[in-house]
Amino acid sequence: MTNPFANLKPSRRHVLAAAAGGSALIGAPALLAGAAEAADPLTLLNVSYDPTRELYKEINAAYAAYWKSKTGQPITINQSHGGSGKQARSVIDGLQADVVTLALAADIDEIASRAKLLPANWQSRLPNNSTPYTSTIIFLVRKGNPWKIKDWPDLIKPGVGVITANPKTSGGARWSYLAAYAYGLKKGGEAYARDYITKLFKNVPVLDTGARGATTTFAQRRIGDVLLSWENEAYLTIDEFGPNFEIVYPSSSILAEPPVALVDKNVDRHKTRKLAEGYLNFLYSPIAQDIIGKHHFRPTNAQAAAKYASSFKQIPLVTVNDTFGGWTKAQATHFADGGVFDKIYKPS
Amino acid sequence: MSDLTSPMSLAGAGGARRPRLSRWREPSILPGFGLSIGVTLAYLGLIVVLPLIALAVRPWEIGLSGIWRTLTEDRVAAALELSFSLSAYAALVNAPRGVLIAWVLVRYEFPGRRLLDALVDLPFALPTAVAGIALTAIYAPNGPLGSLAAQVGIKTAYSPLGIFIALVFIGLPFVVRALEPVMQDLDREVEEAAQTLGASDLQRVAHVILPTLAPALISGVTMAFARAVGEYGSVVFIAGNMPLKTEIAPLLIVIKLEQYNYAAAAAVGLAMVVISFGALILINTVQLLLARRGRR
């Protein structure tokens, strides 16, 4: 269970603001938050998803140093991490995020459409569809790869235990699901893909609610034979547990594009627009792009991409837009109540 | 026991009834009834009733048919059944164990008794997530107990049995703590009187001790049940969360929320409140009957 406030250092403004968001009944804390704002040093809250914890820690320090050298102002950047959908819901319910950096565009779309905190065209405001880095889904297997898992067809062999999180609650698991489904589509069209994904989830013994939980189940509980994992999480697991695991690149996967966005209404309220815009632009800078590559995400900046090219295997990656007609459609078809994912578990 | 029950409860029903009027404004020598009942009602209203009203209002966004459709979804129905049945089993299993533990802690004096007494509270004090992770580590197929169970072909963690274990764990202190004060107050002279009148050990337990403990036991089991129904933190780690098999109702509420389906989440929540409330009323009625019998 990840608490969205877990990594939040207690800046007074944000604690109060979050309290106000949590207790919509009581108006007083919101007023207090406004009063405290003027006296506080500049702070920024980045609400992000699970696997970026270490990445943003380093980027935040770099940006704070950069801002100080430019303006002489000290700044504090707070970060909050959790499942992407849960984080989006917290922002909708009043968590005072200045910027959101989530696992998929659909979650930021929800913030735009439900709480109207940012315009609907948010994704066109920054380069590359507001995606400063990309990633993909790969396999993590146990040492020696006892089941000889090389590619997607191996996941539906009888007896293979596949670990992935619940796509309904985890952004990373949604990418995993779509990567598997895209393989099925390419191999044999819609009917084949449905059959394939059904067989795959029949091999899933435990459904965690988040990507980190699934990694724990696989790495520490030693459940299952293969983990469908964020590329960076797979490398992180290797860094952490060393030789117990091996990374396997399938023949194809999906281009995961975790987008970032400014939360307009919140930055205007906090008077942090300039700082927040600078922060998001900084993510595209050579310094940040280098940090991104170091943390096993795929940089979009050509120079950094070239530098880290050798650390990622280049495999064909399909996009959600080309294969699934965009996130809104993919969400409605596959993950909504009664969608394809629910049908997998229909007793037949 | 049945030979005793019928005449007693009949007599109890007639004898214990008091005039209706005296229920309202119990005469008391202490002043301040108006103020204290006012504070009580305002507080309960704010803390308990208001959120419940908010919960009860939300599902109607999708209408009665929408609520019905939500509650009859395969997954929702399965989760509700799983949550309530496992909670009931866990609470019932805790009843005899709770009596035994409370008995040992109250009636006997031995070194380490206080330590043992404090241990009982641990499931209360432990953050539920910590309990969940600890239980999972022990009962997972590679854990010390889980691997033993696996050898004889029993799946513990990631099965309904795992959920049951977690619910037994969190429910135990409720039963023990409800029983302890009553056991401490048990009049030894009554037991001794029974003995002098020739009652055997078994008769003393069955006719003297257990009837006195029954109301406290029932309320302890009820609290353990109520807590287990709503338990989330410790269960999600050990459950495996497979739809239709090991998905508990509180998790399904969280899943509905993750999909921004607030109304459906509230509908499941409301169903849980209604079922729990019904169970509590039923149990309270039983308790009341027992208490009346005891008073006579």
Query: pLDDT by residue (tens digit) across B51-71?
Result: 999 888 889 888 899 999 999
Contacts of B231 in chain A (CB under 8 A): none
Q: Is A301 on the interface with B (CB under 8 A)?
A: no
**What per-residue confidence (pLDDT) applies to A200?**
96
Q: Which of A86, A207, A346 sits opposite B240 (nearest CB)?
A: A207
Instruction: Select the residue from A169, A333, A335 to test the B interface by mutation, using most B Cβ atoms within 10 A.
Output: A169
Residue with tokens 């309530």: B84
**What per-residue confidence (pLDDT) applies to A12?**
41
* CA pair distance B248, B244, nearest whole angstrom: 9
Model pLDDT for residues A299-347, shown as the tens digit of each residue: 999 999 999 999 899 999 999 999 999 988 999 999 988 899 989 887 6
**What per-residue confidence (pLDDT) applies to B296?**
56
* CA pair distance B143, B121, nearest whole angstrom: 24
**What per-residue confidence (pLDDT) applies to B160?**
94
* CA pair distance B169, B221, nearest whole angstrom: 13
What is the rounded (10 degree) CA torsion for B172, B177, B179, B180?
Answer: 130
User: What's the Cα-to-Cα distance from A209 to each of A166, A228, B169, B216, rounded to whole Å?
Assistant: 5, 14, 23, 38
Task: Please report the beta strands in chain B, taking only residues with DSSP state E, as ranges in sequence order.
Answer: none
Task: State both tokens at B254.
Answer: 């969280």
Contacts of B264 in chain A (CB under 8 A): 337
**What per-residue confidence (pLDDT) applies to B9?**
40
* CA pair distance A165, A167, nearest whole angstrom: 6
Task: State both tokens at B245.
Answer: 């098999």
Q: Which chain A residue's Cα is nearest to B245?
A: A345
User: What's the Cα-to-Cα distance from A236 to each of A219, A230, A251, B136, B163, rounded to whole Å?
Assistant: 11, 10, 22, 23, 31
**Surface of B (163-222) touching A: CB under 8 A:** none
Distance from the B279 Cα atom to the nearest Cα atom in chain A, whole angstroms: 30
Is the pLDDT at A8 greater than 90? The verdict is no
- Decide: residue B195, CB within 10 A, 0-12 exposed, 13-18 middle, 19+ buried: middle
Side by side, the strands of the sheet bearing A137-142 are A207-208, A162-165, A226-230, A137-142, A245-248
Say how many C-beta atoms besides its own lie within 10 A of residue A217's C-beta: 25
Say how many C-beta atoms besides its own lie within 10 A of residue B143's C-beta: 20
Distance from the B288 Cα atom to the nearest Cα atom in chain A, whole angstroms: 38
B215, B290 contact by CB (below 8 A):
yes
* CA pair distance A150, A139, nearest whole angstrom: 9
Nearest-10 crossing angle of helices A171-202, A211-219 = 50
Task: State both tokens at B163.
Answer: 């959920």
Is the pLDDT at A65 greater than 90? The verdict is yes
Handedness of CA B46, B47, B50, B51 (dihedral sign): positive
Say how many C-beta atoms besides its own lie within 10 A of residue A23's C-beta: 13
Q: Which residue did the predictor score with more confidence, A60 or A348? A: A60
- Decide: residue A308, CB within 10 A, 0-12 exposed, 13-18 middle, 19+ buried: middle
Q: Is A138 helix (H, G, I), strand (E, B) or coil?
A: strand
Q: What is the DSSP letter of A247?
A: E
Do you know the residue count of chain A? 348
Q: Which chain A residue's Cα is nearest to B260?
A: A89
Contacts of A208 in chain B (CB under 8 A): 241
Say how many C-beta atoms besides its own lie within 10 A of residue B289's C-beta: 16
**What per-residue confidence (pLDDT) applies to A2?**
43
pTM of the model: 0.80
**What per-residue confidence (pLDDT) applies to A6?**
44
Q: Which chain B residue's Cα is nearest to A332?
A: B259
Instruction: Select the residue from B147, B259, B261, B268 to test the A interface by mutation, using most A Cβ atoms within 10 A.
Output: B259
- Compute and round to an integer the Cα radius of gyration of chain B: 23
Q: Is A348 on the interface with B (CB under 8 A)?
A: no
**Surface of B (91-150) touching A: CB under 8 A:** 129, 136-137, 140-142
- Beta strand pairing call for A226-230 and A137-142: antiparallel
**Surface of B (38-77) touching A: CB under 8 A:** 73-75
- Give the closest residue to A50 by CA, choosing from A86, A91, A77: A86
Instruction: Select the residue from B67, B133, B241 to test the A interface by mutation, using most A Cβ atoms within 10 A.
Output: B241
Q: Using the beta-carbon criterion (under 8 Å), do B260 and A169 form an inter-chain contact?
A: no
Cβ–Cβ pairs < 8 A, chains A and B: 69
Q: What domains does chain B contain, in order, with CATH numbers?
A: 63-295 (1.10.3720.10)
Distance from the A110 Cα atom to the nearest Cα atom in chain B, whole angstroms: 9
**Surface of A (139-198) touching B: CB under 8 A:** 166, 168-169
Q: Using the beta-carbon criterion (under 8 Å), do B140 and A209 form an inter-chain contact?
A: no
As beta bridge partners, residue A44 has: A77
Q: Which of A114, A220, A222 sits opposite B260 (nearest CB)?
A: A114
**What per-residue confidence (pLDDT) applies to B29?**
73
Is the pLDDT at A23 greater than 70? The verdict is no
* CA pair distance B131, B177, nearest whole angstrom: 19
Q: Using the beta-carbon criterion (under 8 Å), do A346 and B241 form an inter-chain contact?
A: no
In one-letter notation, the amino acid at residue A328 is: T
Q: Which of B141, B241, B260 sits opposite A223 (nearest CB)?
A: B141
Task: State both tokens at B50.
Answer: 């208001």
The counts of H helices and E strands in chain B are 16, 0
Q: Is A86 on the interface with B (CB under 8 A)?
A: yes
- Give the closest residue to A165 by CA, choosing from B162, B103, B251, B71: B251
* CA pair distance B77, B62, nearest whole angstrom: 18
Task: State both tokens at B85.
Answer: 């049945």
Phi, psi of A230 (to 5 degrees): -55, 140
Q: Using the beta-carbon criterion (under 8 Å), do A337 and B259 form an inter-chain contact?
A: yes
Q: Is A115 on the interface with B (CB under 8 A)?
A: no
Q: Is A288 on the interface with B (CB under 8 A)?
A: no
Q: Which of B74, B140, B256 sits opposite A223 (nearest CB)?
A: B140
A165, A224 contact by CB (below 8 A):
no
Mean residue pLDDT of chain A comes to 87
Over chain B (296 residues), the average pLDDT of each successive run of 10 is 39 46 61 87 93 89 90 92 96 96 93 92 89 92 90 91 95 95 89 88 88 91 93 91 92 88 92 92 87 68
Expressed in angstroms, the distance from the first to the final Cα of chain B is 17
Q: Using the beta-carbon criterion (under 8 Å), do A223 and B233 form an inter-chain contact?
A: no
Model pLDDT for residues A138-172, shown as the tens digit of each residue: 999 999 999 999 999 999 999 999 999 999 888 89
Q: Is A122 on the interface with B (CB under 8 A)?
A: no
Q: Using the beta-carbon criterion (under 8 Å), do B136 and A221 form an inter-chain contact?
A: yes
Model pLDDT for residues A68-88, shown as the tens digit of each residue: 999 998 999 999 998 888 899
